[in-house]
Amino acid sequence: MTGCAFVRGKYGDQFDAADIESIKKGVSTRTEVATRLGAPDRIIEVNEHEIFQYYNYDVKP
């Protein structure tokens, strides 16, 4: 049996540019970020600081 497949898609959330621009390092709180962008895909801690990670992929074969 032979065949082929074509896959294209997006994974993750799209964010509004205004929401991204409203986030200010050292000023915006975790609550404010989560309210604007939703729950992060992952939270990591680096040097005693939490980093919210959000993923967005454009999948092309």
Q: What is the pLDDT of residues 17-57, one digit of tens each?
A: 899 899 998 899 999 999 999 999 999 999 998 999 988 77
In this prediction, residue 57 carries a pLDDT of 77
* Between 5 and 13, the higher pLDDT residue: 13
- Tokens 């992929």 correspond to 57
Q: How many CB atoms lie within 10 A of CB 52?
A: 15
- Tokens 């939270």 correspond to 43
Query: Nearest Cα to 19, choosing from 5, 6, 32?
Result: 32
In this prediction, residue 5 carries a pLDDT of 54
Q: What is the pTM of this model?
A: 0.66
In the predicted structure, residue 3 carries a pLDDT above the cut 60? no
Distance of alpha carbon 51 from alpha carbon 17, whole angstroms:
20
How far CA 46 is from CA of 39, 50, 51, in Å, comes to 19, 6, 7
